[in-house]
């Protein structure tokens, strides 16, 4: 008997359906008003069904954050490959793609760094997704070191600095604390930042 779609929805993948509903609700109304019951309502399921797939509300949010890191990693990797082999250009392209991701999905980005995962050992999939996007930075820095255009410090430390810079820019921009209007002026600021970072990154023998 051919399976016919039922209108109860949840014969499929309720877990992913809940995540999708949470993401779209968050992008519409932000995080602070998001309730588990609301997510269940949007999916067409009782307010209690989510507990079959998530231990509590925090676990659902952790899954949403995890998918955010996966998407961010893809955006960074795409930016990296869109550039020629020059590691400086690649690093700048990654940084700009990173901040643009944050600005395009402000609530989702903020959720990825929320304080709801104090015990991140509990959410290992989330930690792993974050680690994976971080590795895009590390490997690009190693490329630059191999090419002799970046100084020879610990590449993980350098990546931490770069990540801190783009994360700080993203968060402060989302908070309207940088006092720069979006558009050309903001992109100019991002390029100024990466130029400063790259100069700090240059090998000692640079001109």
Give me the residues that bind DNA (CB under 7 A), please. Answer: 10, 14, 34-38, 45-49, 51-53, 56-58
With CB under 5 to 8 Å by kind, the binding choice for 42 among DNA, a second copy, none is: none
* Burial of 60 per CB tally in 10 Å (0-12, 13-18, 19+): buried
Q: With respect to DNA, which residue has the nearer C-beta, 52 or 122?
A: 52
Contacts within 8 Å (CB) and 24+ apart, 84-91: 85/143, 87/140, 87/141, 87/143, 87/144, 87/147, 87/149, 87/150, 88/144, 88/149, 88/198, 90/140, 90/143, 91/137, 91/140, 91/141, 91/144, 91/162, 91/194, 91/197, 91/198
Is 163 a residue that touches a second copy (CB under 8 A)? yes
Instruction: Reduce the DSSP state of residue 80 to 3 states and report it.
Output: helix
Judged by beta carbon, residue 48 or residue 131, the one nearer DNA is: 48
Instruction: Say how many C-beta atoms besides its own lie within 10 A of residue 155's C-beta.
Output: 18
Query: CB of residue 196 vs DNA: minimum separation in angstroms?
Result: 42
Among positions 177, 182, 183, 184, the unique one binding a second copy when judged by CB under 8 A: 177
Residue 176 contacts a second copy per CB under 8 A: yes
Q: Which does 57 bind (CB under 5 to 8 A by kind): a second copy, DNA, none?
A: DNA
Rule CB under 8 A: say whether 203 interacts with a second copy: no
Task: Please identify, using beta-carbon distances, which residue of 52 and 191 lies nearer to DNA.
Answer: 52
Would you say 36 or 165 has its CB closer to DNA? Answer: 36
CA distances from 183 to 60, 70, 171, 180 (A): 34, 26, 17, 9
Our CB check for a second copy shows the closer of 6 and 177 to be: 177
Beta-carbon count within 10 A of 19 CB: 20
Which residues are at the interface with a second copy (CB under 8 A)?
30-32, 107, 110, 113, 115-118, 120, 130, 134, 153, 157-158, 160-161, 163-169, 171-172, 174-178, 180, 189, 192-193, 195-202
């Amino acid at each position: 008997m051919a399976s016919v779609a039922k209108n109860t929805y949840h014969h499929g993948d309720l877990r992913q359906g809940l995540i999708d509903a949470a993401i779209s609700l968050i992008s519409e109304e932000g995080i602070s008003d998001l309730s588990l019951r609301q997510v269940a309502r949007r999916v067409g399921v009782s307010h209690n069904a989510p507990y079959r797939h998530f231990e509590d509300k925090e676990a659902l949010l952790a899954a949403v954050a995890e998918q955010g890191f996966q998407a961010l990693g893809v955006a960074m990797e795409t930016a990296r490959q869109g550039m020629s082999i020059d590691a400086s250009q690649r690093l700048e392209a990654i940084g700009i793609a990173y901040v643009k991701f944050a600005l395009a999905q402000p609530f989702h980005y903020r959720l990825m760094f929320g304080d709801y995962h104090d015990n991140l050992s509990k959410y290992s999939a989330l930690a792993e997704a974050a680690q994976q996007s971080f590795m895009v930075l590390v490997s690009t820095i190693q490329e630059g070191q191999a090419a002799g255009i970046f100084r020879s410090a610990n590449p993980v430390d350098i990546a931490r600095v770069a990540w801190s810079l783009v994360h700080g820019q993203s968060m402060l921009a989302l908070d309207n604390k940088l006092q720069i209007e979006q558009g050309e002026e903001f992109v100019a600021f991002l390029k100024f930042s990466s130029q400063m970072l790259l100069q700090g990154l240059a090998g000692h023998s640079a001109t």
